[in-house]
Structure 1
Amino acid sequence: MSLTPSSAPPVWRELLGREYLGAAIVLAGGVLVGAINIYLAASLLPTAVADLGGASFYAWNMTIYLVAMVIATMLTGRFLSRWGNVGAYLLGFAMFTASSMACALTPAMAVLLVSRGVQGLGAGLLSGLGFAVIRSALPSRLWTRGTALMSAMYGVGNFAGPALGGLFAQAGSWRPAFVVMAVIGAGCGALVPRVLPRGERGAARVPVPALSLLLITAAAGAVSVAGVVAGTLAKALSVAAALLLMAGFVVHKRRSGLRVFPRTTYRRGSPLKWVYLTLGLLAFGVAVESFLPLFGQRLAGLPPLVAGFFAAAISLGWSVTQIGSSSVTGHRAVRRLRVLGPVLLAAGLLVQGLLLRGDTPLWLAAVWVPVLFAAGAGIGLAYPHLSVAAMSSTQDPEEGGRAAAAIATVTSLSIAFGTAVAGVLLNLDGGSMLDAARYVLFGLAIICALGALTAQAANRTSRDDQAAIHSGT
């Protein structure tokens, strides 16, 4: 089994040429709308609360959306088997478009939260489909560039979400932002039948992994509760419960016939589990973007719109670096980038924490931007190569689709848990915003640094696996 991309150099001009441009727009657009909406509502929510009320539900806005995304990505295989490429994509864009309009027209906070849940389901399905359908929509020589384009959409979305939300919030009108998202979703959906292969529908219906979904939802809920309950013991018990539920999820998926991850993941000595862990630890660092606007406003006195752009420096670094990183094809260079990425991400978060001050002058706040850009660059260096490693882990089309769809599941799940963990760290401050910010940044830096170890394990087991193949063992 090879976990390295094709040696044939991919060409951006070919991916964005007439033959594949439509497919690239649909694949990237589906990921983009979901990524934008992770943070769009966060920027709009203060204005929405002033209009609708329901401030007590504020913290659940992000949790409901992200958990719904995770659930939908886990069901991607079922939708593909039932509806094929075109049908599944049309369903995803329809859910996203309708729920975005429902958000725009909502009369109450409870309706907004339900609509955000449906929006998360549509966004999660679209994210999962992007990585699953790329195998049939694009030739293998373009997988690296196609994956880079889609994963860059997480960075672009995390930049555009706060910016778009901040613009509408500053104008005092939050509802049109959701209308804009509905229009984008409808436009991408209209392209689907013309640019994507229909794909084969499965002969047998894929069962719903109900217990897996329950365990994931309960684990995310437990971490979210840890962020709001009072007392160290209560927080520790909530986190412990989340870890036990996640361990139960892993054990169940290993034994169950209803797999979210391909069977290769569970094979002894397989590098695939380390690839997914590294992807997850990289995505974990993205969670800090939910809190950077708060730190910018409280510690540096930045206005909301400026703080939103400041927070997007990580995403910008991710997106820009990924474009260049995807051009690297040498096996040794790719392995180095997989390890360097988590190191650079962790170092950026660590330095950012050291630069924080209680009353930050403007010149020092300006220094934060290149530091956070460098942290995001760590994600961009490693993410596309890890994604292609997962997609190339098997020649079986069904298992390959499962391996690709699992990339979106891991990314969404890690961002959801990273946001919840950062919320727990934020509430350890004892009233000091400076201490809270440092807890978040240092804590996430330590967790993300573990990605260097998992990347080394992926590289090592990949070489061992290839050596076994060449020796015929």
Structure 2
Amino acid sequence: MAPTDTSTTRLDRGWRQLLGPDHLGPMVVLAGGVALYAINIYLTTSLLPSAVDEIGGARFYAWATTIFLVASVISAVLVSRLLAVAGPRGAYLAAIGLFAAGTVVCAAAPDMFVLLAGRGLQGFGGGLLSGLGYALIRSTLSQHLWARASALVSGMWGVGTFVGPALGGVFAQFGAWRLAFIVLALLAAGIAAIVPRYITGERIDGPRVGVPAVSMLLLSAAALLVSVAGIASNVALTALGVVAGVALLVAFVVHERRAVTRVLPAVTFTPGNTLKWTYATFALLAVASTAETFVPLFGQRLGGLEPLAAGFLGAALAVGWTLGEISSAGASRRSTVRALVVAGPALVTIGFLVAAATQREGATAWVIGVWVAALVLGGAGIGMAWPHLSTFAMGAEHDEVEGGKAAAAINTVQLVSNAVGSASAGVLVNLGGTMADSARLLFGFFAAFAAAGVLTAWRSTRPRP
């Protein structure tokens, strides 16, 4: 799989081709599904306080996120199986139907228990939507468009970062949190209406395999442990939960190496194959990206920013991610792609080290400006590597079934890594003596994760046997 040389004109034509009449419809569906999933995450965070005020259940507040995440991880594992049984069109309609149904349940919830059930349905459907976003890129588009399509689909997380909190904040302001979920359900219905026109109904032929029950159990248990650890008030319990979750992930990898029915494609564990390094790089970058969780808090406590301004500071990493993806996705020369993939984690490391070095109490405007630049740089590093890593994963296996599994696993790796990263961030912040110490500790440790990503990224670019 060697990318070919092209001119700048050809690169521009690639974006025009992706967004042209032949591919615009499918891309609206795939990107729209991921956008719904991302917007829902940030929107719900803004709406939950208002919902709890009305229906009660404050002690179960954090479980609304935990249940959503665990359901997403479980369903993400089932993407390739659903494609084999229902075909692309049936799979996508099932995914968006589950998401819409869960959203309607949330809108109508009379109490917290019903809301949690709705969040579980949302998470299950959302995990499928996000996984299908990658799996169907591989089966729907020509290989030379994979990087651009991956950039567009994953760029929807940036859209969610902005639209979700803004939309949720507006509805919460007017006490109309239920209406926000109704609007989200209507958007899901709108996307579902165009699925039959743009997504094929042809099933992928291949051997039918069973559900990887043991792997699913290990992954979901790991996600549950680190999610619960992230909401624990005791730092020791939080750290213990993270360690136990990581241990379960190690057990998952050990099991996958020996299992017949797997989540990851078999080629992942073939000696000399680089796919495992690609997934490792995804994991390290996804962990690093969760640093944004505490950026608004740092902006308020250290920089004296108002909540709205602090929220936009927290979105700086997502802005950089989107800019990095759009600017790098058109690269196709092998040497350029290798340089971008390796340079990505390096830029994250530099950006986070700068952020760590400049965290201080009473930060002035120019210091805050440095934070913005450092976060944008870190986000750009993730973005410039991500679409090409996606292409590596999608092209790792020529078999349609195994190739679809490799593509869908991108989302699984991202979801689990985000959970580990968020819980780890909570541990690091709690370990700091002051808020400035917490910020320096967080960015410093996550810079180390990104630095490890430089090595795994380099290994992922080595020629395959």
Shorter-chain TM-score above 0.5: yes
Corresponding position of 1:449: 451
Q: Which shows bigger deviation, 71-80 or 304-313?
A: 304-313
Equivalent pair of 1:159/1:316 in contact (CA under 8 Å):
no
SS at match of 2:273: coil
2: CA distance, partners of 1:319 / 1:148: 8
Are residues 138 and 273 of structure 1, via their aligned partners in 2, closer, same or farther at CA, if it must alter by over 3 Å? Answer: same
TM-score, structure 1 as length reference? 0.91
1:178 deviates by: 1.9
Secondary structure at 1:291's aligned position in 2?
helix
Verify the 8 A CA contact 1:261 1:406 in the aligned structure 2: yes
Displacement of 1:371 after TM fit?
2.0
Q: Verify: 1:219 aligned to 2:222, yes or no.
A: yes
Aligned to 1:433: 435
The CA distance in 1 between the partners of 2:283 and 2:4, in whole Å, is 24
Taking the TM superposition and a 5 Å limit, the aligned residue runs for 1:379-458 are: 379-429=382-432, 432-458=434-460
Say if 2:117 is the partner of 1:114: yes
Q: C-alpha deviations, 1:70-107, integer Å up to 9, x for none?
A: 21111001111111000000011111112112222222
Pairing 1:274-289 to 2, within 5 Å after superposition: 274-289=277-292
Shift of 1:203: 6.9
Q: Distance in 2 between matches of 1:224 and 1:174?
A: 25
Query: Structure 1 residues 57-66 or 128-137, which shifts more?
Result: 57-66
Deviations 1:400-456 (A, max 9, x none): 1111111111112211221121122222235x3333333322222222221101011
CA distance change for structure 1 residues 47 and 440 in 2, over 3 Å: closer, same or farther?
A: farther
Tell whether the 8 Å contact from 2:4 to 2:334 is kept in structure 1 after alignment: no
Aligned residue number for residue 469 of structure 1: none
Which range moved further: 180-189 or 357-366?
Answer: 357-366
Q: Provide the residue aligned with 1:470 in structure 2.
A: none
Task: Give the alignment's Cα RMSD to 1 decimal.
Answer: 2.2
Give the aligned residue type for 1:41: T
The 2-side partners of 1:328 and 1:353 are apart by: 31
Q: CA deviation at 1:233?
A: 5.2
**Shift in Å, 1:202:** 5.2
Bigger shift: residues 55-64 or 32-41: 55-64
Structure 1 residue 231: Cα displacement:
5.8
Partner of 1:351: 354
Contact map agreement 2:4 2:333 (CA 8 A) in 1: no
Q: Is the 8 A contact 1:5 1:389 kept in 2?
A: no
Amino acid at match of 1:221: L
Q: Aligned residue for 1:127? A: 130
- Render the CA deviation track for 1:226-262: whole Å, top value 9, x for unaligned: 4455666544443332222111111111111111111
1:321 aligns with 324
Q: Distance in 1 between matches of 2:199 and 2:235?
A: 52
Gaps of 5+ in 2: none
Q: Hey, what does 2:48 align to over in structure 1?
A: 45
Structure 2 match to 1:471: none
Q: Is the 8 A contact 1:163 1:309 kept in 2?
A: no
Q: Residue 145 of structure 1: CA displacement?
A: 1.5
Letter in 1 for 2:328: S
Alpha-carbon distance between aligned partners in 1 of 2:384 and 2:5, rounded to the nearest angstrom: 18
The residue type paired with residue 223 of structure 2 is A
Aligned to 1:137: 140
Structure 1 contact 166–308 (Cα < 8 Å) conserved: no
**1:379-406 deviations in Å (ceiling 9; x for gaps):** 1110001100111112211111111111
Q: Which residue of 2 is the match for residue 263 of structure 1?
A: 266
Count of aligned positions? 460
Aligned in 2, Cα 1:6/1:265: closer, same or farther, shift over 3 Å? farther
Distance 1:48 1:366 in 2: 35
The answer on 1:239 being equivalent to 2:242 is: yes
